[in-house]
Chain A
Amino acid sequence: MFHRKSTRFEPRQRYADTVRLLVLTALTVFANGWVSHASADKLAGGVLAQKGGAGITACLACHGANGEGQAAAGFPRLAGQHQAYLVKQLQAFANGKRKNAQMEPIASALSAQQINDVADYYAGLPGWKPTANPVASSPQTALGFKLATSGNWSKGMPACFACHGASGEGIAPHFPSLSGQISSYTRAQLKAWQAGTRDNDPQGLMKSVAIKMSDEEIAAVSLYLENPALNGKVK
Protein backbone atom coordinates (compact mmCIF):
# COMPACT_ATOMS: atom_id res chain seq x y z
CA MET A 1 0.00 0.00 0.00
CA PHE A 2 2.77 2.42 0.91
CA HIS A 3 4.74 3.06 -2.23
CA ARG A 4 8.11 4.65 -1.69
CA LYS A 5 7.16 7.50 -3.96
CA SER A 6 4.09 8.33 -1.97
CA THR A 7 6.06 9.05 1.18
CA ARG A 8 5.14 12.72 1.03
CA PHE A 9 1.47 11.84 1.18
CA GLU A 10 2.01 10.00 4.39
CA PRO A 11 0.24 12.51 6.67
CA ARG A 12 -2.77 12.42 4.40
CA GLN A 13 -2.66 8.63 4.35
CA ARG A 14 -2.61 8.59 8.10
CA TYR A 15 -5.61 10.89 8.18
CA ALA A 16 -7.48 8.51 5.89
CA ASP A 17 -6.58 5.61 8.15
CA THR A 18 -7.92 7.47 11.16
CA VAL A 19 -11.20 8.11 9.38
CA ARG A 20 -11.42 4.45 8.42
CA LEU A 21 -10.77 3.46 11.98
CA LEU A 22 -13.49 5.77 13.24
CA VAL A 23 -16.00 4.42 10.74
CA LEU A 24 -15.06 0.89 11.71
CA THR A 25 -15.47 1.63 15.42
CA ALA A 26 -18.84 3.23 14.81
CA LEU A 27 -19.92 0.21 12.80
CA THR A 28 -18.78 -2.17 15.49
CA VAL A 29 -20.61 -0.29 18.19
CA PHE A 30 -23.71 -0.20 16.03
CA ALA A 31 -23.45 -3.90 15.22
CA ASN A 32 -23.00 -4.73 18.89
CA GLY A 33 -26.05 -2.73 19.79
CA TRP A 34 -27.99 -4.47 17.06
CA VAL A 35 -26.89 -7.92 18.16
CA SER A 36 -27.70 -7.29 21.80
CA HIS A 37 -31.06 -5.99 20.67
CA ALA A 38 -31.63 -9.26 18.80
CA SER A 39 -30.81 -11.30 21.91
CA ALA A 40 -33.00 -9.18 24.13
CA ASP A 41 -35.39 -12.12 24.32
CA LYS A 42 -32.67 -13.98 26.20
CA LEU A 43 -32.56 -11.15 28.70
CA ALA A 44 -36.35 -11.14 29.00
CA GLY A 45 -36.14 -14.90 29.50
CA GLY A 46 -33.60 -14.35 32.24
CA VAL A 47 -35.91 -11.91 34.03
CA LEU A 48 -38.76 -14.41 33.78
CA ALA A 49 -36.56 -17.19 35.14
CA GLN A 50 -35.31 -15.10 38.07
CA LYS A 51 -38.36 -13.06 38.96
CA GLY A 52 -41.33 -14.75 37.34
CA GLY A 53 -44.16 -12.76 35.78
CA ALA A 54 -47.89 -12.22 35.97
CA GLY A 55 -49.22 -15.53 37.31
CA ILE A 56 -45.87 -17.19 36.62
CA THR A 57 -43.73 -18.50 39.46
CA ALA A 58 -40.04 -17.73 39.03
CA CYS A 59 -38.43 -20.79 37.52
CA LEU A 60 -35.44 -20.57 39.86
CA ALA A 61 -37.65 -21.47 42.80
CA CYS A 62 -37.60 -25.02 41.52
CA HIS A 63 -34.92 -25.24 38.84
CA GLY A 64 -32.17 -23.54 40.87
CA ALA A 65 -30.46 -20.17 40.65
CA ASN A 66 -28.41 -21.22 37.62
CA GLY A 67 -30.80 -23.76 36.18
CA GLU A 68 -28.82 -26.57 37.79
CA GLY A 69 -31.95 -28.30 39.13
CA GLN A 70 -32.67 -29.53 42.64
CA ALA A 71 -31.53 -33.01 43.49
CA ALA A 72 -33.57 -33.42 46.66
CA ALA A 73 -36.88 -32.61 44.97
CA GLY A 74 -36.05 -34.21 41.61
CA PHE A 75 -36.49 -30.91 39.74
CA PRO A 76 -34.56 -31.21 36.48
CA ARG A 77 -31.50 -29.32 35.39
CA LEU A 78 -32.31 -26.94 32.50
CA ALA A 79 -28.98 -25.14 32.06
CA GLY A 80 -27.32 -25.96 28.75
CA GLN A 81 -30.26 -27.99 27.46
CA HIS A 82 -31.01 -27.47 23.76
CA GLN A 83 -33.31 -24.56 22.99
CA ALA A 84 -35.60 -26.48 20.62
CA TYR A 85 -36.05 -29.29 23.14
CA LEU A 86 -36.96 -26.86 25.95
CA VAL A 87 -39.50 -25.12 23.69
CA LYS A 88 -41.02 -28.45 22.72
CA GLN A 89 -41.41 -29.56 26.35
CA LEU A 90 -42.91 -26.25 27.50
CA GLN A 91 -45.41 -26.44 24.65
CA ALA A 92 -46.16 -30.05 25.58
CA PHE A 93 -46.88 -29.09 29.21
CA ALA A 94 -49.11 -26.27 27.94
CA ASN A 95 -51.13 -28.36 25.49
CA GLY A 96 -51.40 -31.43 27.70
CA LYS A 97 -49.14 -33.73 25.70
CA ARG A 98 -46.88 -34.00 28.72
CA LYS A 99 -48.41 -34.26 32.16
CA ASN A 100 -47.05 -32.71 35.31
CA ALA A 101 -49.04 -30.95 38.01
CA GLN A 102 -46.34 -28.41 38.78
CA MET A 103 -45.34 -27.51 35.24
CA GLU A 104 -48.71 -27.50 33.49
CA PRO A 105 -50.11 -24.30 35.05
CA ILE A 106 -46.80 -22.48 34.64
CA ALA A 107 -46.31 -23.47 31.01
CA SER A 108 -49.93 -22.65 30.20
CA ALA A 109 -49.43 -19.14 31.55
CA LEU A 110 -46.45 -18.49 29.28
CA SER A 111 -46.96 -16.78 25.92
CA ALA A 112 -45.29 -18.22 22.83
CA GLN A 113 -42.79 -15.38 23.01
CA GLN A 114 -42.03 -16.04 26.67
CA ILE A 115 -41.50 -19.74 25.95
CA ASN A 116 -38.94 -18.83 23.32
CA ASP A 117 -37.28 -16.29 25.59
CA VAL A 118 -36.93 -18.49 28.63
CA ALA A 119 -35.79 -21.48 26.52
CA ASP A 120 -33.16 -19.23 24.98
CA TYR A 121 -32.05 -18.15 28.41
CA TYR A 122 -31.62 -21.67 29.81
CA ALA A 123 -30.02 -23.01 26.63
CA GLY A 124 -27.44 -20.22 26.93
CA LEU A 125 -26.44 -21.02 30.52
CA PRO A 126 -23.29 -23.10 30.88
CA GLY A 127 -23.99 -26.80 30.43
CA TRP A 128 -22.84 -29.53 32.74
CA LYS A 129 -19.09 -29.97 33.23
CA PRO A 130 -17.40 -32.97 34.82
CA THR A 131 -16.78 -32.28 38.49
CA ALA A 132 -13.40 -32.64 40.09
CA ASN A 133 -14.64 -35.40 42.37
CA PRO A 134 -16.76 -37.76 40.32
CA VAL A 135 -19.03 -40.23 42.06
CA ALA A 136 -16.93 -43.11 43.32
CA SER A 137 -16.81 -46.02 40.92
CA SER A 138 -19.25 -48.72 41.98
CA PRO A 139 -20.64 -51.82 40.25
CA GLN A 140 -23.79 -49.81 39.69
CA THR A 141 -22.04 -47.01 37.84
CA ALA A 142 -20.06 -49.60 35.86
CA LEU A 143 -23.37 -51.04 34.67
CA GLY A 144 -24.58 -47.51 33.94
CA PHE A 145 -21.45 -46.80 31.90
CA LYS A 146 -22.00 -49.97 29.90
CA LEU A 147 -25.64 -49.17 29.16
CA ALA A 148 -24.83 -45.60 28.18
CA THR A 149 -21.98 -46.52 25.86
CA SER A 150 -22.92 -50.01 24.56
CA GLY A 151 -26.58 -50.58 25.43
CA ASN A 152 -27.94 -54.04 26.13
CA TRP A 153 -28.45 -55.63 22.74
CA SER A 154 -29.53 -58.96 24.19
CA LYS A 155 -32.76 -57.03 24.76
CA GLY A 156 -32.46 -54.99 21.57
CA MET A 157 -31.55 -51.85 23.49
CA PRO A 158 -29.08 -49.48 21.78
CA ALA A 159 -26.55 -47.41 23.70
CA CYS A 160 -28.06 -44.25 25.20
CA PHE A 161 -25.23 -42.30 23.63
CA ALA A 162 -26.11 -43.58 20.13
CA CYS A 163 -29.01 -41.12 20.27
CA HIS A 164 -27.96 -38.72 23.02
CA GLY A 165 -24.46 -37.89 21.73
CA ALA A 166 -21.06 -39.43 22.34
CA SER A 167 -20.89 -38.19 25.93
CA GLY A 168 -24.55 -37.56 26.60
CA GLU A 169 -24.49 -33.94 25.41
CA GLY A 170 -27.47 -34.61 23.15
CA ILE A 171 -27.92 -34.19 19.41
CA ALA A 172 -29.97 -31.10 18.64
CA PRO A 173 -32.80 -30.61 17.94
CA HIS A 174 -34.54 -33.91 18.76
CA PHE A 175 -32.26 -35.70 21.22
CA PRO A 176 -31.84 -33.88 24.54
CA SER A 177 -28.72 -33.66 26.64
CA LEU A 178 -28.67 -36.14 29.54
CA SER A 179 -25.28 -35.53 31.13
CA GLY A 180 -25.30 -33.90 34.52
CA GLN A 181 -29.03 -34.44 34.88
CA ILE A 182 -30.40 -35.01 38.41
CA SER A 183 -30.52 -38.81 38.73
CA SER A 184 -33.90 -38.98 40.47
CA TYR A 185 -35.40 -36.99 37.57
CA THR A 186 -33.87 -39.27 34.91
CA ARG A 187 -35.13 -42.29 36.82
CA ALA A 188 -38.63 -40.82 37.07
CA GLN A 189 -38.75 -40.09 33.32
CA LEU A 190 -37.67 -43.61 32.37
CA LYS A 191 -40.36 -44.99 34.69
CA ALA A 192 -42.90 -42.58 33.22
CA TRP A 193 -42.22 -43.95 29.73
CA GLN A 194 -42.60 -47.48 31.05
CA ALA A 195 -45.89 -46.60 32.69
CA GLY A 196 -47.08 -44.76 29.59
CA THR A 197 -47.51 -41.47 31.46
CA ARG A 198 -44.87 -39.79 29.28
CA ASP A 199 -45.35 -40.41 25.58
CA ASN A 200 -44.47 -37.25 23.70
CA ASP A 201 -41.25 -38.61 22.19
CA PRO A 202 -40.88 -38.55 18.39
CA GLN A 203 -41.71 -41.90 16.74
CA GLY A 204 -41.84 -43.54 20.15
CA LEU A 205 -38.03 -43.76 19.98
CA MET A 206 -37.41 -43.20 23.68
CA LYS A 207 -40.30 -45.38 24.74
CA SER A 208 -38.94 -48.38 22.85
CA VAL A 209 -35.73 -48.04 24.84
CA ALA A 210 -37.29 -47.41 28.25
CA ILE A 211 -39.71 -50.35 28.12
CA LYS A 212 -36.79 -52.75 27.70
CA MET A 213 -35.07 -51.62 30.90
CA SER A 214 -35.06 -53.40 34.26
CA ASP A 215 -35.33 -51.42 37.51
CA GLU A 216 -31.69 -52.18 38.17
CA GLU A 217 -30.66 -50.82 34.78
CA ILE A 218 -32.73 -47.68 35.27
CA ALA A 219 -31.15 -47.01 38.65
CA ALA A 220 -27.63 -47.65 37.37
CA VAL A 221 -27.84 -45.55 34.22
CA SER A 222 -29.55 -42.64 35.98
CA LEU A 223 -26.79 -42.54 38.56
CA TYR A 224 -24.12 -42.78 35.89
CA LEU A 225 -25.61 -39.98 33.78
CA GLU A 226 -25.59 -37.60 36.74
CA ASN A 227 -21.82 -37.58 36.43
CA PRO A 228 -20.65 -39.37 33.29
CA ALA A 229 -17.10 -38.10 33.83
CA LEU A 230 -16.21 -41.60 34.88
CA ASN A 231 -15.78 -42.70 31.27
CA GLY A 232 -12.27 -44.04 31.31
CA LYS A 233 -12.26 -44.85 34.99
CA VAL A 234 -14.87 -47.56 35.08
CA LYS A 235 -13.72 -50.79 33.55
Chain B
Amino acid sequence: MMSSWLKNWFQSQKQTRKFHPFWIVLVVMATLAVGGVVWVATYLFKVEEAPAVPAVVSSATPGQDGAQSDNLPAIAKPSPLSVEQGGVFSPPDPEDIPSGEFGDVIRLGKNIFTDTQTYASAYVGNGLNCVNCHLDAGRKPDSAPLWASFGMFPAYRDKNKQVNSYEDRLAGCFRFSMNGKAPPLGGKEMIALTSYSYWLAKGAPIGVALKGRGYPELKQPALAPDEVRGKGVFEANCAICHGADGQGTLVKGRYVFPPLWGSQSFNAGAGMSKINNAAGFIQANMPLGQGGSLNLQDAWDVAKFMTSHERPADPRLAKK
Protein backbone atom coordinates (compact mmCIF):
# COMPACT_ATOMS: atom_id res chain seq x y z
CA MET B 1 0.00 0.00 0.00
CA MET B 2 2.66 2.41 1.19
CA SER B 3 5.03 1.54 -1.63
CA SER B 4 2.41 1.97 -4.36
CA TRP B 5 1.53 5.33 -2.86
CA LEU B 6 5.19 6.31 -2.96
CA LYS B 7 5.46 5.18 -6.56
CA ASN B 8 2.48 7.31 -7.54
CA TRP B 9 3.91 10.28 -5.75
CA PHE B 10 7.26 9.75 -7.38
CA GLN B 11 5.56 9.56 -10.77
CA SER B 12 3.50 12.69 -10.25
CA GLN B 13 6.49 14.60 -9.02
CA LYS B 14 8.35 13.59 -12.14
CA GLN B 15 5.48 14.60 -14.35
CA THR B 16 5.07 17.98 -12.75
CA ARG B 17 8.81 18.33 -13.14
CA LYS B 18 9.02 19.43 -9.55
CA PHE B 19 11.04 16.37 -8.66
CA HIS B 20 14.78 16.53 -8.51
CA PRO B 21 16.99 13.55 -7.52
CA PHE B 22 18.56 15.83 -4.94
CA TRP B 23 15.43 15.31 -2.83
CA ILE B 24 16.61 11.78 -2.08
CA VAL B 25 19.96 13.02 -0.81
CA LEU B 26 18.15 15.56 1.34
CA VAL B 27 15.84 12.95 2.89
CA VAL B 28 18.73 10.63 3.69
CA MET B 29 20.67 13.48 5.31
CA ALA B 30 17.67 14.49 7.40
CA THR B 31 17.11 10.91 8.61
CA LEU B 32 20.75 10.61 9.63
CA ALA B 33 20.59 13.89 11.51
CA VAL B 34 17.43 12.96 13.49
CA GLY B 35 18.77 9.46 14.16
CA GLY B 36 22.01 10.89 15.45
CA VAL B 37 20.24 13.19 17.89
CA VAL B 38 18.07 10.32 19.19
CA TRP B 39 21.11 8.07 19.54
CA VAL B 40 23.05 10.67 21.52
CA ALA B 41 20.01 11.26 23.75
CA THR B 42 19.60 7.56 24.55
CA TYR B 43 23.27 7.26 25.25
CA LEU B 44 23.18 10.17 27.70
CA PHE B 45 20.09 8.82 29.41
CA LYS B 46 21.69 5.40 29.79
CA VAL B 47 24.81 6.81 31.39
CA GLU B 48 22.68 8.74 33.83
CA GLU B 49 20.80 5.58 34.80
CA ALA B 50 23.86 3.38 35.16
CA PRO B 51 24.77 4.18 38.76
CA ALA B 52 21.28 3.12 39.82
CA VAL B 53 22.12 -0.49 39.05
CA PRO B 54 24.54 -1.31 41.86
CA ALA B 55 22.23 0.69 44.11
CA VAL B 56 19.48 -1.81 43.41
CA VAL B 57 21.57 -4.60 44.81
CA SER B 58 23.17 -2.77 47.68
CA SER B 59 19.90 -1.25 48.85
CA ALA B 60 19.06 -4.64 50.29
CA THR B 61 18.94 -4.61 54.06
CA PRO B 62 19.80 -7.74 56.02
CA GLY B 63 16.84 -10.16 55.82
CA GLN B 64 14.99 -10.41 59.11
CA ASP B 65 14.76 -13.80 60.79
CA GLY B 66 16.78 -15.21 57.93
CA ALA B 67 13.76 -15.21 55.71
CA GLN B 68 14.13 -15.38 51.97
CA SER B 69 13.93 -11.97 50.44
CA ASP B 70 15.63 -9.88 47.87
CA ASN B 71 14.36 -6.68 49.41
CA LEU B 72 13.64 -5.35 46.00
CA PRO B 73 13.34 -1.63 45.51
CA ALA B 74 9.73 -0.45 45.53
CA ILE B 75 9.35 0.24 41.85
CA ALA B 76 12.30 1.18 39.75
CA LYS B 77 12.17 3.80 37.05
CA PRO B 78 11.29 1.99 33.84
CA SER B 79 14.25 1.82 31.56
CA PRO B 80 13.87 3.79 28.34
CA LEU B 81 15.15 0.72 26.55
CA SER B 82 12.51 -1.63 27.91
CA VAL B 83 9.51 0.61 27.95
CA GLU B 84 6.63 -0.71 25.98
CA GLN B 85 3.09 0.60 26.17
CA GLY B 86 2.28 1.66 29.71
CA GLY B 87 5.88 1.48 30.79
CA VAL B 88 5.73 -2.22 31.62
CA PHE B 89 7.90 -4.69 29.76
CA SER B 90 5.85 -7.18 27.82
CA PRO B 91 7.37 -10.65 27.48
CA PRO B 92 6.72 -12.86 24.45
CA ASP B 93 3.71 -15.17 24.34
CA PRO B 94 4.52 -18.82 25.22
CA GLU B 95 2.56 -19.78 22.10
CA ASP B 96 5.47 -18.39 20.15
CA ILE B 97 8.15 -20.57 21.73
CA PRO B 98 10.10 -21.71 18.67
CA SER B 99 10.25 -25.31 17.52
CA GLY B 100 13.56 -27.14 17.43
CA GLU B 101 15.97 -28.22 20.11
CA PHE B 102 16.27 -24.94 21.99
CA GLY B 103 12.49 -24.48 21.80
CA ASP B 104 12.00 -27.90 23.36
CA VAL B 105 14.16 -26.96 26.33
CA ILE B 106 12.35 -23.63 26.74
CA ARG B 107 9.07 -25.52 26.68
CA LEU B 108 10.34 -27.96 29.30
CA GLY B 109 11.23 -24.96 31.45
CA LYS B 110 7.72 -23.65 31.12
CA ASN B 111 6.30 -27.05 32.01
CA ILE B 112 8.52 -27.32 35.08
CA PHE B 113 7.40 -23.88 36.13
CA THR B 114 3.67 -24.42 35.67
CA ASP B 115 3.55 -28.10 36.67
CA THR B 116 6.47 -28.61 39.01
CA GLN B 117 4.66 -31.53 40.63
CA THR B 118 4.98 -33.53 37.40
CA TYR B 119 8.12 -32.22 35.73
CA ALA B 120 10.44 -31.80 38.73
CA SER B 121 8.73 -33.94 41.35
CA ALA B 122 12.04 -35.19 42.77
CA TYR B 123 12.88 -31.67 43.95
CA VAL B 124 9.54 -30.74 45.47
CA GLY B 125 8.57 -31.31 49.09
CA ASN B 126 5.07 -29.84 49.19
CA GLY B 127 1.91 -29.45 47.11
CA LEU B 128 2.89 -26.27 45.25
CA ASN B 129 3.96 -25.33 41.74
CA CYS B 130 6.21 -22.36 40.89
CA VAL B 131 3.32 -20.69 39.06
CA ASN B 132 1.25 -20.51 42.26
CA CYS B 133 3.26 -17.48 43.40
CA HIS B 134 4.54 -16.33 39.99
CA LEU B 135 1.27 -16.00 38.10
CA ASP B 136 0.66 -16.33 34.37
CA ALA B 137 3.51 -18.80 33.94
CA GLY B 138 5.97 -16.32 35.47
CA ARG B 139 4.88 -13.46 33.24
CA LYS B 140 2.61 -11.30 35.41
CA PRO B 141 4.07 -8.03 36.71
CA ASP B 142 3.93 -7.67 40.51
CA SER B 143 4.08 -11.42 41.01
CA ALA B 144 7.88 -11.68 40.77
CA PRO B 145 7.95 -12.30 36.99
CA LEU B 146 10.88 -14.21 35.52
CA TRP B 147 11.60 -11.64 32.79
CA ALA B 148 12.30 -8.99 35.44
CA SER B 149 14.57 -11.29 37.41
CA PHE B 150 16.74 -12.83 34.72
CA GLY B 151 18.75 -9.70 33.93
CA MET B 152 19.37 -8.93 37.63
CA PHE B 153 21.73 -11.80 38.28
CA PRO B 154 24.50 -12.44 39.25
CA ALA B 155 23.78 -10.43 42.40
CA TYR B 156 24.88 -10.30 46.00
CA ARG B 157 22.21 -11.64 48.35
CA ASP B 158 22.05 -11.08 52.07
CA LYS B 159 20.30 -14.37 52.41
CA ASN B 160 23.52 -16.33 51.93
CA LYS B 161 26.04 -13.47 52.02
CA GLN B 162 27.51 -14.14 48.61
CA VAL B 163 27.12 -13.37 44.96
CA ASN B 164 24.43 -15.61 43.51
CA SER B 165 23.98 -16.77 39.95
CA TYR B 166 20.51 -16.97 38.46
CA GLU B 167 20.55 -20.72 39.07
CA ASP B 168 21.38 -20.07 42.72
CA ARG B 169 18.28 -17.88 42.86
CA LEU B 170 16.13 -20.61 41.34
CA ALA B 171 17.60 -23.04 43.87
CA GLY B 172 16.39 -20.78 46.68
CA CYS B 173 12.76 -21.13 45.65
CA PHE B 174 13.11 -24.91 45.36
CA ARG B 175 14.51 -25.14 48.88
CA PHE B 176 12.19 -22.74 50.66
CA SER B 177 9.05 -22.01 48.63
CA MET B 178 8.78 -25.57 47.38
CA ASN B 179 10.15 -27.02 50.64
CA GLY B 180 12.29 -29.36 48.54
CA LYS B 181 15.87 -29.58 47.37
CA ALA B 182 17.58 -27.76 44.56
CA PRO B 183 18.12 -29.62 41.27
CA PRO B 184 21.83 -29.89 40.45
CA LEU B 185 23.39 -26.72 39.05
CA GLY B 186 23.79 -27.13 35.31
CA GLY B 187 21.36 -30.07 35.31
CA LYS B 188 18.39 -30.55 33.03
CA GLU B 189 15.87 -28.69 35.23
CA MET B 190 18.12 -25.68 35.86
CA ILE B 191 19.01 -25.34 32.18
CA ALA B 192 15.35 -25.58 31.20
CA LEU B 193 14.19 -22.98 33.76
CA THR B 194 17.04 -20.65 32.82
CA SER B 195 16.24 -21.06 29.11
CA TYR B 196 12.59 -20.27 29.70
CA SER B 197 13.49 -17.17 31.76
CA TYR B 198 16.00 -16.05 29.15
CA TRP B 199 13.41 -16.44 26.44
CA LEU B 200 10.79 -14.47 28.40
CA ALA B 201 13.34 -11.70 29.02
CA LYS B 202 14.06 -11.21 25.33
CA GLY B 203 14.69 -7.52 24.74
CA ALA B 204 14.78 -6.62 28.45
CA PRO B 205 17.84 -4.71 29.62
CA ILE B 206 20.51 -6.27 31.84
CA GLY B 207 21.00 -4.87 35.32
CA VAL B 208 17.97 -2.60 35.32
CA ALA B 209 15.23 -3.20 37.89
CA LEU B 210 12.15 -3.17 35.71
CA LYS B 211 8.75 -1.95 36.76
CA GLY B 212 6.70 -4.92 38.01
CA ARG B 213 9.70 -6.80 39.42
CA GLY B 214 9.15 -8.76 42.64
CA TYR B 215 6.06 -8.06 44.71
CA PRO B 216 4.99 -4.49 45.41
CA GLU B 217 6.23 -2.89 48.63
CA LEU B 218 3.05 -1.81 50.39
CA LYS B 219 2.83 1.25 52.61
CA GLN B 220 2.51 0.52 56.31
CA PRO B 221 -1.14 0.15 57.39
CA ALA B 222 -2.85 2.59 59.77
CA LEU B 223 -3.22 -0.08 62.43
CA ALA B 224 -0.65 -2.73 63.28
CA PRO B 225 -1.49 -5.93 61.32
CA ASP B 226 -3.86 -8.05 63.36
CA GLU B 227 -4.50 -11.79 63.20
CA VAL B 228 -8.07 -11.62 64.43
CA ARG B 229 -9.13 -9.02 61.89
CA GLY B 230 -7.14 -11.03 59.34
CA LYS B 231 -9.21 -14.12 60.07
CA GLY B 232 -12.33 -12.16 59.14
CA VAL B 233 -10.76 -11.01 55.88
CA PHE B 234 -9.71 -14.59 55.14
CA GLU B 235 -13.15 -16.04 55.71
CA ALA B 236 -14.84 -13.41 53.57
CA ASN B 237 -12.38 -13.42 50.66
CA CYS B 238 -10.13 -16.45 50.57
CA ALA B 239 -11.71 -19.49 52.21
CA ILE B 240 -13.95 -20.25 49.22
CA CYS B 241 -10.84 -21.37 47.30
CA HIS B 242 -8.08 -21.99 49.84
CA GLY B 243 -10.44 -23.75 52.28
CA ALA B 244 -11.64 -22.64 55.71
CA ASP B 245 -8.58 -24.41 57.14
CA GLY B 246 -6.18 -22.85 54.60
CA GLN B 247 -5.25 -26.28 53.31
CA GLY B 248 -6.27 -25.56 49.73
CA THR B 249 -8.59 -27.64 47.59
CA LEU B 250 -7.40 -31.03 46.47
CA VAL B 251 -8.95 -32.74 43.42
CA LYS B 252 -7.72 -36.17 42.36
CA GLY B 253 -4.53 -35.77 44.35
CA ARG B 254 -3.63 -32.35 42.94
CA TYR B 255 -4.17 -28.91 44.41
CA VAL B 256 -6.52 -26.87 42.27
CA PHE B 257 -6.28 -24.12 44.90
CA PRO B 258 -2.95 -24.24 46.74
CA PRO B 259 -2.52 -24.57 50.53
CA LEU B 260 -1.49 -21.39 52.40
CA TRP B 261 -0.09 -23.12 55.46
CA GLY B 262 0.41 -26.61 56.89
CA SER B 263 2.64 -29.46 55.75
CA GLN B 264 1.93 -29.03 52.02
CA SER B 265 2.71 -25.30 51.86
CA PHE B 266 5.92 -23.22 51.66
CA ASN B 267 8.31 -23.48 54.62
CA ALA B 268 9.24 -20.95 57.28
CA GLY B 269 12.38 -19.88 55.40
CA ALA B 270 10.42 -18.89 52.28
CA GLY B 271 9.99 -15.30 51.16
CA MET B 272 6.22 -15.72 51.27
CA SER B 273 6.40 -16.41 55.02
CA LYS B 274 7.54 -12.82 55.54
CA ILE B 275 4.55 -10.60 56.13
CA ASN B 276 5.68 -7.80 53.80
CA ASN B 277 6.13 -10.16 50.83
CA ALA B 278 2.84 -11.89 51.61
CA ALA B 279 0.93 -8.61 51.94
CA GLY B 280 2.42 -7.32 48.67
CA PHE B 281 1.63 -10.51 46.77
CA ILE B 282 -1.89 -10.76 48.16
CA GLN B 283 -2.82 -7.14 47.57
CA ALA B 284 -1.63 -7.28 43.96
CA ASN B 285 -2.89 -10.74 43.05
CA MET B 286 -5.60 -12.11 45.33
CA PRO B 287 -8.47 -13.02 45.34
CA LEU B 288 -7.69 -14.61 41.98
CA GLY B 289 -8.86 -12.28 39.21
CA GLN B 290 -9.50 -9.44 41.68
CA GLY B 291 -5.96 -8.20 42.29
CA GLY B 292 -5.85 -4.72 43.82
CA SER B 293 -9.30 -5.07 45.39
CA LEU B 294 -8.26 -5.51 49.04
CA ASN B 295 -7.58 -2.30 50.93
CA LEU B 296 -4.18 -1.79 52.54
CA GLN B 297 -5.30 -2.69 56.05
CA ASP B 298 -7.10 -5.88 54.94
CA ALA B 299 -4.05 -6.99 52.93
CA TRP B 300 -1.71 -6.63 55.93
CA ASP B 301 -4.21 -8.21 58.32
CA VAL B 302 -4.82 -11.26 56.16
CA ALA B 303 -1.06 -11.60 55.52
CA LYS B 304 -0.54 -11.55 59.27
CA PHE B 305 -3.21 -14.21 59.72
CA MET B 306 -1.67 -16.40 57.01
CA THR B 307 1.95 -16.08 58.14
CA SER B 308 1.17 -16.83 61.79
CA HIS B 309 0.10 -20.40 61.03
CA GLU B 310 2.20 -23.54 61.31
CA ARG B 311 4.26 -24.58 58.30
CA PRO B 312 7.31 -26.77 57.60
CA ALA B 313 10.42 -25.57 59.47
CA ASP B 314 13.16 -23.46 57.92
CA PRO B 315 15.62 -26.12 56.66
CA ARG B 316 18.61 -23.96 57.67
CA LEU B 317 17.54 -24.05 61.28
CA ALA B 318 16.95 -27.80 61.27
CA LYS B 319 20.54 -28.43 60.19
CA LYS B 320 22.14 -26.43 62.99
Contacts and interface: CB of A to CB of B under 8 A. Distances in A.
Interface of A: 146, 150-151, 153-154, 156-158, 162-163, 165-166, 171, 174, 202-205, 208-209, 235
A203 B237 contact: yes
Contact of B139 (A153, A158, A205, A209): A153
A199 B198 CA distance: 43
A171 B287 contact: no
Contacts of B139: 153
A235 B107 CA distance: 13
Interface of B: 90, 94-95, 135-137, 139-140, 236-237, 240-241, 249, 251, 254, 256-257, 287-291, 293
B288 A162 contact: yes
A163 B241 CA distance: 9
Contact of A208 (B135, B236, B290): B290
Contacts of B287: 203, 205
Q: Which 7 A-B pairs have the closest CB atoms?
A: A153-B136, A158-B289, A208-B290, A208-B289, A153-B140, A158-B288, A209-B289
Label chain A's interface by main secondary structure.
Answer: helix
Contacts of A171: 249, 251, 256-257
Given A153-B135, A153-B136, A153-B140, A202 B240 contact: yes
A85 to B, nearest CB: 13
6 contacts: A153-B139, A153-B140, A158-B289, A163-B289, A171-B256, A203-B236
A157 B289 contact: yes
Nearest to A161: B256
B241 to A, nearest CB: 8
B251 A150 contact: no
A40 to B, nearest CB: 30
A146 B95 contact: yes
B86 to A, nearest CB: 10
Contact of A163 (B237, B251, B288, B291): B288
Nearest to B85: A154
Contacts of B291: 156
Nearest to B136: A153
B274 to A, nearest CB: 25
